[in-house]
A and B are shown apart, each in its own frame.
Chain A
Amino acid sequence: MRNTWTICAKELRSYFVSPIAYLLLTMFGLIFGFFFWNALGYFVIEGMEMQMRGQTFPMSINEQIIRPLLSNVSVVGLFFIPMISMRLFAEEKRSGTIELLATSPVHDVEIVLGKWLAAVILYSCLLLFTALNFAFLFRYGHPDWKPLAVGYLGLLLQAGTLLALGTFISTLTKNQIIAGAATFAVCLLLWVLEWTSGYESATWAHVLAYFSVVTHFESFAKGVIDSKDVIYYLSGIFLGLFFTARSMESMRWRS
């Protein structure tokens, strides 16, 4: 456990001494800020129109601002995750530092967990930016915080799954670009798998849609924790990390 933390701290450090972390934070902050501004503007205009028409249809900040925004974050996250995970192992393999890690008295699992944890923490830092925006909603309105917390839990689980897959892909190559591009392709594919359920009602379409990371986030965005979705994400994380550890082990045989 101590080794996991040592490696995690080292990874976090290299994110934050290089421009990667700041670049990602800035980009994410800008993009989410734009989403937030639009969602808020739309909400305000709609509220005024309703007042003018004399309708008293109830409006909800949770339903009309937070929920769509969380769904947006879940999709935007797909684009950021490859940039976080691509360097984890590819960089070590290129610079030869993997030899230091692999010949130190540290278990492969500890290395894998440490690196993945650092990636998840960096992603959490991105989410902090969204929390800054949401803080304004709490300042001027009265949204319910519980669905928001559940939404964040869902985002973390989803990112955890994709980052675990990204970490695995990163062990397969020395080239960060290749690792990043492949992870991006996998992320996109896992997103669009749900489209099949739109026109096809056969079992295979449902199965495919079930594998989509985004469908499982929908209930979290609503503020509902469904064990089915939690299990999906947890097993995704486990599978990704398991493959990573196996891939590290296979390096010893293939070189």
Chain B
Amino acid sequence: MIIVKDITKRYARAVAVDHISFSVAKGQIVGFLGPNGAGKTTTMRILTCFLSPSGGSASVAGFDILEQPFEVKKRIGYLPETPPLYLEMETVEYLRFVGKLKGLAGAELEKRIDYVCERCFVADVKNKLLGKLSKGYRQRVGLAQAIIHNPDVLILDEPTAGLDPKQINETRDLIKGLAGDHTIILSTHILPEVEQTCEQVLIINKGKLVATDSVRNLQARTRDAESLLLEVGGRDGQPDALLVQQKLEAIPGVSRVLPGDRKDSGLVFEVQSLKGQLVRGDLARAVVAAGWDLCELSPAGRSLEEIFLQLTGSEAVAEEKPPADELQP
């Protein structure tokens, strides 16, 4: 559905997008991930024919963005970072204007307006001025505007930015519901969003594509060692941390034991083992044999966040994470 080949965008002083190539199959949801200023918006603007690339080519729904931009525009729905709303218009009026621009008319147009209002949950603000709507509603009207002509491809630039958690969930569900009929590219710098909504991820950093894969493969690919979370408790008071650590390290297959937090119920360790070595059973037996309680044993799957940091080589996000203690109730 979307094929991008060696797209480059140079500005006067900087290269915003540097030889990016990828392709998206029909009906997929693809997450476009990257820190701020990585070139996500520029790439999307090129795909929507808002900007012209300095080099390379791309095609959307079988039409070249440089040769046949008119055909491409007919088949694309685009929600820019700030929803492009005319604040002095009412919701219905605005959707009617956009619908006409996209080539709809008459009964067909009115039917689509009703449909997108239902679909994007803006039916209750149909006759309100856009300028009076809250941020969440504005975002949803922006989304309604993007799907009004039932485009093959949807390009959404940070569709959940600035929404509250409930609205974020609603918007994500909405986007998921739209997949299948539409091919969707959405950009975000919020990682869980990609994990929850997207099938495929494109990670971009400083204008370069650093990874393209499905979410699951990405998690697996960067995981060179298996890592387990183990919580050990004692019957009378806490067991000695050093002693437990030594015991665990002695188990064959275990490569590293990192002491974690101290909880009321016991001590937490992160146990890393080499890939393919199944050490869970040995761990459990060793703990029980030593007379301690095994309170918890769970796989510590690496989150996309860590993968992302590893790939983009930045530490900034990690520092912002609150310490684990504060997360305990």
Contacts and interface: CB of A to CB of B under 8 A. Distances in A.
Interface of A: 2-3, 6-7, 10, 13-14, 17-18, 95-107, 252-253, 255
Interface residue SS majority, chain B:
loop
Nearest to A7: B101
13 contacts: A6-B97, A7-B101, A10-B86, A95-B86, A96-B80, A99-B80, A100-B98, A100-B145, A102-B49, A102-B50, A103-B73, A104-B102, A252-B49
Contacts of B101: 3, 6-7, 100-101, 104-106
Given A6-B97, A10-B97, A104-B102, A96 B82 contact: yes
A28 B145 CA distance: 38
Given A100-B98, A103-B76, A104-B102, A255 B11 contact: yes
Interface string B85-110: 11111000000011011110000000
B52 A253 contact: yes
B85 A97 contact: yes
Given A100-B145, A101-B101, A255-B51, A17 B82 contact: no
A104 B73 contact: yes
A105 B88 contact: no
B78 A105 contact: no
B84 A105 contact: no
B48 interface: yes
Contacts of A106: 73, 101
Contacts, number: 71
Determine which residue in B42, B50, B73, B102 has the highest number of CB atoms from chain A within 10 A of its CB, and name it: B50
Contact of A18 (B48, B76, B88, B97): B88
B22 interface: no
Contacts of A6: 97, 100-101
Given A104-B101, A105-B102, A95 B50 contact: no
Nearest to B42: A255
A252 B9 CA distance: 11
A97 B73 contact: no
A99 to B, nearest CB: 5
A105 B73 contact: yes
B50 A103 contact: yes
Contacts of B102: 104-105
A105 B70 contact: yes
Given A10-B86, A10-B97, A18-B88, 17 more contacts: A95-B82, A96-B81, A97-B84, A97-B85, A97-B86, A99-B45, A100-B80, A100-B145, A103-B73, A104-B101, A104-B102, A105-B73, A105-B103, A252-B52, A255-B11, A255-B42, A255-B45
Nearest to B142: A100
A14 B88 contact: yes
Nearest to A10: B97
Contacts of A99: 45, 48, 50, 78, 80, 84
B74 interface: yes
Given A103-B73, A105-B70, A95 B84 contact: yes
Interface in B22-77: 42, 45, 48-52, 70, 73-74, 76
A99 B73 CA distance: 12
